[in-house]
Amino acid sequence: MLAFGPQRWLLTHGDAWCLADTDYQAFRQTVRSPEWQTAFLQRPLAEREAIARQLRVHHGTVRRVLAQAGVPVTLNIVTDNTTSCARDFVIPAIKYYVLLPVTGLETVQIPPQPVGTTMRFTCSMGMYTGLIEFR
């Protein structure tokens, strides 16, 4: 709990609040158990790193979108029964934020960007990330 004057804030890591993402909550409960952590840490480092890379790719944290530079770009984001924090879509460079529908289409208009520009996009928690590269 953080208190500043009459204001009080509860600081927590946001993944604990992704309650609708039941698959993630089950995964979170598993990997936070002492038994799982002990068994995982007994594996060789190279094997642990390989598992982490596979999980990142599986969960969509490695994404790259190529876009044409110098012209407005329309980014169509399609969701299909999405209940994770991935619904909170953010492009910090253009101060864009939207709560995506659980199922539907969201259109993002990006103004013309110079060649070589790279924009990061993410969910609000930084778990799902990617880049838009303008060429």
Q: The domain containing residue 54 runs over which residues?
A: 2-58
Count of Cβ atoms closer than 10 Å to residue 13 Cβ = 7
**Contact status, residue 77 vs residue 99, Cβ threshold 8 Å:** no
Q: Is 81 left (phi over 0), alpha (psi -120 to 50) or beta?
A: left
Task: Judge whether residue 6 has pLDDT over 90.
Answer: no
Average pLDDT, the chain: 83
Domains of the chain: total = 2
Tell me the CA end-to-end span of the chain in Å, nearest whole number: 46
| Local confidence band at 19 (pLDDT 50, 70, 90 cut-offs) | low
Give tens-digit pLDDT for 33-88.
999 899 989 999 988 888 877 776 556 554 788 899 999 999 888 888 887 778 88
What is the pLDDT, as a whole number, of residue 81? 83
Backbone torsion region of residue 12, taken as left when φ is above 0, otherwise alpha when ψ lies between -120 and 50, otherwise beta: beta
Does residue 73 sit in the same domain as residue 124?
yes
Q: Please give the Cα distance from 99 to 77 (Å, whole number).
A: 11
> Quick one: 114 and 73 in the same domain?
yes
On whether both 50 and 71 belong to a single domain, the answer is no
Nearest Cα to Cα of residue 41 among 31, 29, 53:
31
